Amino acid sequence: MAITVQDVIDRTSDVLNDVDLLRWKLEERLRWIHDALREIATRKPSAMEQTSVWTLVAGTRQTVPDDSLRLIDMPRNIAADGVTPGYAITPTSRAELDTQIPDWHMARVSTRIRHVTYDYDADPLHFYVYPPAADGVKVEAINCANPPELTALTDVLPIRDKYVSAITSFVLYRALSRESEDASGQLAAAHYSAFAGALGDAQQAAQAAQTAGV
């Protein structure tokens, strides 16, 4: 079952006792849901995994498309029709290519990609392929979706169903963080602890729980 904005709004409204969206408006909750998706994508890219066909430009250096936050894997070439599978692509490190094929950036362009190298920490928006791609070559890319802006209750969230509780916890954390009472601050920390725990971040969950006194 796909998760919609309405699903998260209903869950948070029940907890906040704000079914009519009077205290915490729809517009700000939409922003918080989007923020939750961005944070989940950063911490756990597989939560928003999608498989796409990317079209490469000429050369070794390529850019991650705007609808994706990062590359996860590049399994194979794809034929010009955008459907037919081709030869496998194997991951490698840029250091290995530099050592074994020092002139690899100057190699002859090819319609068949053999290797891909990608370092998210160093350059999340670019990856390199070898041999240098001919313009228009297509590859299959497993990637993390870039969360779209949310505008309506019917919008479907590009994430697996099991993360609905994590998104709900994050929105509750943001909502209660606005309040000045100590109790609200503790509740906010508790919800952030639940959010971090749902993503498998035990250390951050424990720190948030300690702040909340739970």
pLDDT digit string (tens) for 3-50?
999 999 999 999 999 999 999 999 999 999 999 999 999 999 999 999
Four-residue CA torsion sign, 6, 11, 16, 19:
positive
Distance CA 3, CA 168 (A): 11
| Burial class (CB within 10 angstroms; exposed 0-12, middle 13-18, buried 19+) of 43 | middle
What integer pLDDT is reported at residue 207 of this predicted model? 56
pLDDT digit string (tens) for 77-89?
999 999 999 999 9
Question: For residues 92 and 172, is the Cβ–Cβ distance under 8 A?
Answer: no
Distance CA 32, CA 171 (A): 6
Q: Taking Cα atoms as reference points, which of 214, 195, 213 lies closest to residue 205? A: 195
pLDDT digit string (tens) for 108-166?
999 999 999 999 999 999 999 999 999 999 999 999 999 999 999 999 999 989 999 99
